[in-house]
Structure 1
Amino acid sequence: MNIQNRIDSVDIFRGLTIVLMILVNNPGTWSHVYAPFLHATWHGYTPTDLVFPFFLFIVGCSIVFAYQNKPADSSTYKKITIRALKLIGLGLFLGAFTIQSPFFKDFENIRFPGVLQRIGVVFFFASILFLKFNWKTLIGICAFLLIVYWLLMGYVPVNGMAPTFERAPNNLANYLDVVVFGSHSYKADYDPEGFLSTLPSIATALMGIFTGLVLRSKRVKKELLLCGMGILMLVVGYVWDIFFPINKALWSSSFVMVTAGWANIILAIIYYVSDVKGIKFGSIFKYAGANAIVLYFLSSFIGKIMGLVKVDGDTSLKGWLFNTIYVQDFLAMKTSSLLYALSLVSFYVLLGYILYRKKIFIKV
C-alpha cells in the first residue's frame, strides 16, 4: 500500500507488533526477564506468544489491501514469488551470518527454518489462495488446515508409538522436524517454526485475510463485527484447547483460534479509536509499522553482531554495554534487562519515524 491508501489502524497494529517483537527478542540478559516477556514453557501462552501470530495475522490483512484489485496473472504471481523468496533469503542470511571469515557458518550448523522464512512461506501461500478463491472457499480451506493438522497430530502413530502433544519423539511435528531438518533446527528435537506447523500458520494469515475483507467492505460498525469474530474465535479456541492444547511451539489449531481472536479484538479497538472516531494516537507505532520487516531485520542483524563482537576479553559488545550502562545497584536485574530492550526499541522506532517522514517505504 502507498501512503495514501493506508488505514491507520492496520499500520498501528503492525507497528505495535513489530515493536513487541523487537522488545521480547532483545533483553539485556536472558537470565533476567520478566515472565510476560518470555514464551510459555510448552502448553499455554504468554503475551509474548501472541506477537508472532499477530504479525502473520496482519500479513494476511495486508494481502487484502495489496492484492484485492490485482489480476491473478503471471505478473502478480511473479511479484508474490519474488517477495516470498526475498523474505526467505533474508531469514537464511540471518541464520547463516557470522563475523568471522568467510562470514557464514559451516553448512551443517545453519538453521533452515526461522521467523522471516515462515513469514515468506505463509505470505506466498496465503496470497496465492486469496487470488484464486473467494472468501467462502477460503473459510473452508482454513477449517481444513486446522482440522487436518489436529487429526495428524492427535491420531497418527509415530514410530509405532501413540502420538502425543508433549515435547517428545512421538510428537509428529517434533519427529518431522528432526527428519526433515536434522541439525538445521533451532532445537535438537524440534523447531518453533517447524515443517508441519507451517500448515496452521497459513491458517493464521487466512484469519487476517477475513479481517482485511471486513475492513475493505462497505459494512457499517465494522468494529463490532470484528469484536464478535474475535470473541467467537476465542470461544472455539478455548474449547479446542481441551482436545488440542494451546501451544505456540506446535502452532496448534487452538492456538491459531485464540491468537486470531485476540488480534481481532485488539484491532477492532484500534480501528474504532483511530479510523472511526478519528482520534490521533499510536503514531509511534504507525511509523514502525510502515517499514516493519526492515526494522525487524535490522534489529536482528545488528543484535547478532553486537552479540558476536568481543570487547574486554570474552565479553560481547552487547554484554559490555548492558553491564556498563544498565546494571546499577539501585535497579533490579530484570528492570535493567527491560530498560536495555526498551532503549533498542526506542532507536528503531526513531528510525521508523525518520523513514516515514521522508516517505520511504522499503518493500522486501
Structure 2
Amino acid sequence: MSETITKNRLISLDALRGFVMFWIMSGEHIMHALAKAIPIPVFIWMSSQLHHAEWNGITFYDMIFPIFLFVAGVSMPYSFENKMNLAGVKTPIELPSKEKQKIYRSMLKRTCVLLFLGFVVNGLLRFDGFDQTRFASVLGRIGLAWFFAGLIYLNFDLKKQLVWFTGILAGYYLAMKFIPVPDFGAGILTKEGSLEGYIDRLFLPGRLHSTVYDPEGLFSTVPAVATALLGVFLGTFLKTYNYFSSKNKLVVMLVSAIVLIGIGIIWDYDFPINKHLWTSSFVCFVGGFSILFFTFFYLIIDLLGFHKWAFPLLLIGSNSILIYIAAEGLVDFKHTAEYVFGGIIKFLPFIWQPVFNALSVTIVQLILLYFLYKKKWFMKV
C-alpha cells in the first residue's frame, strides 16, 4: 500500500470534505424525498439523521460542521510543509520569526475573508440594518477556530499542543459548569441559562440565530479550536511519523477514534453531547467519528488507490466553500434544475417526482463544479 498525495495534499481530504458538503448542498433533500417515496426503515432512519438534534444528543447532521473543521486541521501540517522545507527546518516552531510573521498575515487575511463571507451568507448585503444582521456564522467559526489552532501549531511542540487541547476542553467544561449566570446560577445548560448564551446576549452584536443564544456564538467557538487541533494532531501523525507502517497507522487511528468516542460518551453523563453549545463531550465524540470517517477515505483512496469512484466528491471538496455559499441562497439551483429537467420529470410517477427534483439539483451543481474544475477555477480562501 502506498499513499497518494498530490501537491502535498491527501486526496482523501478533498473526498471527505466533499462527502460532508454533499449533504448540505443538496444530499439531504434527496434522502428526505427517498424516505417519503420508499418509507422503509433504513431510509427513514437516514432521513432522521439529516436533521439537527433539538438540543442535547447528536445526529449525523450535527457532525458535518465539525468534520469540515477537523479536515481543515488535518490539512494544516501539509499546507505549511513547503515553507518549512524552504526554511530548512523540520518543525513549524523552528521557522524564522520573519517567515512566521508572513504566515500570520496570510492566516489573518484568510480568517477575515471567511468572516466577511459568513456575513454575506447571513444577508449582510441586504442592508437590513445593524440590529437585524447576524454576525456569527459557520464560515466565521471555521476561520477563527482554524486561525487560533494555527497559532498553537506554529508556536508549540506536539506535547504542548496536547496541553492546549486538554486545557481548552477542561477549561470550557469548568466555565460552563461553575461560572454563575445572572438569574440562573451555575451549570444550567439550557438555551437561556447557559454561560455561552449569556455571553452571546452580552457581547455578540446584531441578531442572534436563536434569539437567546447563537450556535456559532462567541464562547462556544473556544472548544471549536480543539476540534481543529484534533485534525492538526492527525495531520502531524500522518506526515511526520513515517516509521509507522500503513497498517500500524490505521490501527493507531482506529484506537484513537474509539478512545475519543468513549470519552465523549462517558463525559456526556455530566456534560451532555450538544452541538449547539459545542460541549467538550461533543468535541471528543465527534472527533472520534471524524477520525473514523477519515480513516475510511484514507484507506480506500490514499492507501488502496481506489479514487475514481470519489471523483464527484473531489469536485465538491475542491470548491467546498464556493458551493456552500452558493447553496446557502446566493444561487437558485432549484430554479435552474426545474428549467432544465422539469419537463422530463413531469412524465415520471408522482411519488418519484420529488426524488428526481432533488437529484436534478445535485446534477446542476455537479455540472457547475465540473466546469470550474476543468477550468482550474478554485475559490481559494
Matched, 1:344 2:361: yes
1:344 to partner: Cα distance: 2.9
Query: For 1:140, which of 134, 159, 163 is the aligned residue?
Result: 163
| 1:214 is aligned to 2:227 | no
Bigger shift: 290-299 or 259-268? Answer: 290-299
Any conservation in 2 of the 1:68–1:131 contact (CA below 8 Å)?
Answer: no
> Does 2:139 align with 1:116?
yes
Which of 17, 23, 26 matches 1:23? 26
Structure 2 regions of 5+ residues with no counterpart? Answer: 37-43, 84-94
Find out whether 1:38 has 2:66 as its counterpart.
Answer: no
Counterpart for residue 370 of structure 2: 353
Whole-Å Cα distance in 2 between the matches of residues 149 and 278 of structure 1? 41
Match of 1:184 in 2: 207
Contact 1:224 1:268 in 2 (8 A): no
**Shift in alpha-carbon separation, 1:121–1:343, aligned structure 2, 3 A:** farther
- Deviations along 1:140-182, whole A, 9 cap, x unmatched? 1011111111111111111153334543432111111111225
Q: Which segment drifts farther, 126-135 or 161-170?
A: 161-170
Tell me, yes or no, if the aligned pair for 1:24 and 1:38 is still in contact at 8 Å. no
Aligned mates of 2:30, 2:196 — CA distance in 1 = 29
1:116-159: per-residue Cα shift (whole Å, max 9, x none)? Answer: 11111112111121111111111110111111111111111111
Identify which of 33, 43, 65 aligns with 2:78. Answer: 65
For residue 281 of structure 2, the aligned residue among 227, 237, 254 is 254
1:310-358, CA deviations, whole angstroms, 9 ceiling, x for partnerless residues?
Answer: xxxxxxx69x98xx888998328xx83x655443333323322332233
Q: Is 1:300 paired with 2:328?
A: yes
Q: CA deviation at 1:26?
A: 6.6
Q: After superposing the two structures, state which structure 1 stretch, 221-230 or 19-28, moved more.
A: 19-28
User: How far apart, in 2, do the equivalents of 1:126 and 1:266 lie?
Assistant: 21
Distance 1:40 1:155, change over 3 A: same
Query: What pairs with 1:258-277 in structure 2 (closer than 5 Å)?
Result: 258-277=285-304
**Partners of 1:163 and 1:74 in 2: how far apart?**
41
> Given residue 106 of structure 1, which amino acid in structure 2 is its aligned partner?
G
User: d(CA) in 2 for partners of 1:61 and 1:296?
Assistant: 20
Q: Which residue pairs with 2:7 in the alignment?
A: 4
Q: What CA distance in whole angstroms lies between the structure 2 residues aligned with 1:139 and 1:183?
A: 35
Give the TM-score of the pair, scaled to structure 1: 0.85
Contact 1:88/1:120, CA 8 A, preserved across alignment: yes
Indicate how the Cα distance of structure 1 residues 41 and 85 shifts in structure 2: closer, same or farther if over 3 A, else same. Answer: same
Aligned partners of 2:29, 2:178: CA distance in 1, in Å? 38
Distance 1:5 1:348 in 2: 27
Q: Residue 15 of structure 1 contacts residue 289 of structure 1 at CA under 8 Å; is this kept in 2? A: yes
Give, in whole Å, the separation in 2 of the partners of 1:162 and 1:117. Answer: 30
Listed one character per residue, the Cα deviations across residues 200-236 of structure 1 (whole Å, up to 9, x for unaligned) are 1110000010111122131212222211111111011
Matched, 1:198 2:215: no
AA at the equivalent of 1:257: C
The whole-number CA distance in structure 2 between the counterparts of 1:227 and 1:28 is 29
1:37 match: secondary structure:
coil
Shift of 1:263: 0.8
Equivalent runs, 1:310-321 vs 2, <5 Å? none
Cα distance, 1:252–1:5 mapped onto 2, change above 3 Å: same
Does the 8 Å contact 2:135/2:206 carry over to 1?
A: no
* CA deviation vs aligned residue, 1:87-110 (integer Å, no higher than 9, x gap): 111111222345xxxx42212100
1:284 Cα deviation after fit: 1.2
CA contact (8 A) 2:372 2:378 kept: yes
1:241 correspondence with 2:258: no
1:330 aligns with 2:345: no
User: In structure 1, what is the Cα distance between the partners aligned to 2:379 and 2:271?
Assistant: 39
Change (3 A) 1:74 1:183: closer
Contact 1:165 1:245 in 2 (8 A): no
User: Structure 1 residue 294: deviation in Å?
Assistant: 1.5
- Please tell me the root mean square deviation across aligned C-alpha atoms, in Å: 2.9
Match of 2:108 among 81, 97, 115: 81
| Partner residue in 2 for 1:313 | none
What is the distance in 1 between the residues matched to 2:359 and 2:65? 19
Q: CA shift at 1:287, angstroms?
A: 1.8
Q: Which runs of 5+ in 1 are unaligned?
A: 308-316
Identity of aligned residues (%): 30
Aligned: 1:50 with 2:63: yes
Alignment of 1:174 onto 2:201: no
The whole-number CA distance in structure 1 between the counterparts of 2:361 and 2:115 is: 25
Cα offsets for 1:52-96 (capped at 9, x unmatched): 000000011111111245345211111111111111111112223
